[in-house]
Chains A and B, each alone.
Chain A
Amino acid sequence: MKISAGRASLRLDPRTGLLCFLAVLAFVVALPAEAPLWKNAGLLFLLLAAGLGFAPQLRKLLNWLKKMVLILIPFIVFLLVVTLLLSKEPAKKVFFYIAQVGLRSLVVVAADLVFILSQRTEDLLAAMSQAKVPAVVIQLLNSGLRYSHIFTREAVSSFRAKLARDKCRQPFLKRLKITDLIIEKIFWRAIDRSQRIYAAMLSRGYDGNLYFHRPFRLRVLDVVALTSFLALLLALAWI
C-alpha cells in the first residue's frame, strides 16, 4: 500500500506554501504606507503567475478571486466614502491610501488562494503540525473545517427540504421566519453534534493532541520556489 502526501507533481510542499504565505503577509504588513503602488501590483501579478505554475486548479482559483473581489469592492467603497468624509487629508492622498488597502487585500487573498487553498486540507494541517504550530491552533482549524463541512451539508439538506415543501411563493416575512427556524434548528443540531463528536473523540483516547502521518519530503522544486520567491519579495521591498 502506498501512503503518499497526495501531491500533484507541480504542487508545492505544504510547508513551502505556508512559508510563502507568511512571507507575503510579512511583506504586506511591513511595507510602508507610502510605498509605491506598483510594488503591490507587481506582487499580485507575480502571485497570479506563480498560481499558473504551482496551483493545478488555477481556473477554480481565479473564480474564487473574482468572488473575493466582489466582496472586497463594497468594503473598499465604504472605506473610501468614510475616509473622504472624515479625513482631513487631500482627496488624492485618500485615493492613494485606499488603493494601497485594496491592493494589499487582493495580494493577501491571492496568496491565500495560491499557497493555502491550492493544498489539500489534510496536507496543510499535517504540515502545520510538523512545523510545530501550537496544537490548539491545529485543533481549532481541524474542528472548524470538519464542522463547516458537516453543517454546510445539513444546511443544504434543510433548505432543500424547505424548497420541496414550498407549494407557492411565500410572503417575505414568512420566508424570513422559516429561514430563522431552519437556522435555529441547525444551531441546536450543531450543539448536539459537537457533543457526539467529542464523545467519539474521548472514546478513542483523545488527549488534546492530534497526530499526523504525512511523509513530506522537500524537493528541489520546493527549495528553488521558496528561495526565489523570498528573493523576489526582498527585491520588491528593497527597490
Chain B
Amino acid sequence: MPGTEIIEVNNLSYRFPDGTLALRQVSLVVREKERVAIMGPNGAGKSTLLLLLDGLLVGEGQIKILGTEVRRRNLKFIRSKVGLVFQNPDDQLFMPSVLDDVIYGLCARKKSLDPEAIKKAEAILRQLKAETLVNRSTMSLSLGEKKKVALAGVLIMEPDVLLLDEPTSGLDPAARRWLISYLSGLNRTMIFATHNLELAGRLAHRIILLNAGRVVADGPAAEILNNEKLLLDNGL
C-alpha cells in the first residue's frame, strides 16, 4: 500500500446539538489510494465522520487533509480536494437538469459557465453509462439514475479523496454490482460508510469499525470480515 498520508484524524469528537455524543476520541490515518470502509450499526457515527471530514460539521479534535487542517478558513481548499457523495441523492441534486447539476461544482470553482465542464460532464456520464440522462430533469430520475448523477457531479471535480455515504443503499443487485465494479476501477483515495459486507469485502483494503461513536476495530478488510464475533457484537 502506498505511503503518503492523505487524511489524519486526531482525537475527534462530535456532539449533536441535542447533546448526544456522536463520535468519541476518534483517531485514524488514511493513506494515498487507500480504500477504507467505515462500518458499524445505525447511529454509530459513520455519516457524521464523513461530514466532519468534508468540513460540513465542526467537531473537537483535529482533522488534516493533505496536511491542511480542516478549519473555516481552509474550507475552500478542503472541498476542492474532498468530494462527498451523500446517501440520499435527493439531498445532493439541486439543479433542475442533469447536465447543470453535473457541471455545477466545476462552474462554481471557476465562477463561470465553463465549456470544458460540459465536455467533462459528457465523458463522465458516458463512463457511468448515464449519457442518455444528460437532458433529463433531476426530478424525474429513478434512484439508481440519481445515484449515478450525484456521483458524476462529484467525480467531475476530480477530488483527491472520495467520500461515499452508503453508496449502494437502495440499489437493485445489478446496479449494486455495477457500482462496486466501477468504484473499484477508480484509482483514488476512497472512504465509504456502509453496512454492506459485500461492498466492503469487494472494495475496501481496510475496514474501520465504529460503534457508539468509538473505533472498535481498524484493520485489513479480510481480517475484519472473517471475524464473525466482532461483526455480530457490533451489529453487522
Contact = CB atoms under 8 A, between A and B. Distances in A.
Q: Do A and B bind each other?
A: yes
Interface string B72-114: 0000100110111010101110111101100111011101110
A3 B118 contact: yes
A6 to B, nearest CB: 5
A204 B134 contact: no
B226 interface: no
Contact of A1 (B51, B82, B109, B122): B122
Nearest to A212: B100
Interface string A108-120: 0000000000001
Contacts of A214: 97
A103 interface: no
A203 interface: yes
B91 A209 contact: no
A122 B137 contact: yes
A122 B131 CA distance: 18
Contacts, number: 100
B104 A125 contact: no
Interface residues of A, number: 34
A1 B137 contact: no
B100 A204 contact: no
B84 A213 contact: no
Interface string B128-148: 000100110101000000000
Interface stretch (A48-56, A74-82, A141-149, A161-169): A141-149
Contact of B131 (A1, A121, A197, A213): A1
Interface of B: 51, 54, 56, 76, 79-80, 82-84, 86, 88, 90-92, 94-97, 99-100, 103-105, 107-109, 111-113, 118, 122, 125-126, 131, 134-135, 137, 139, 153-154, 157
Interface of A: 1-4, 6, 120-122, 125-126, 142-143, 145-146, 149-150, 193, 196-197, 199-207, 209-214
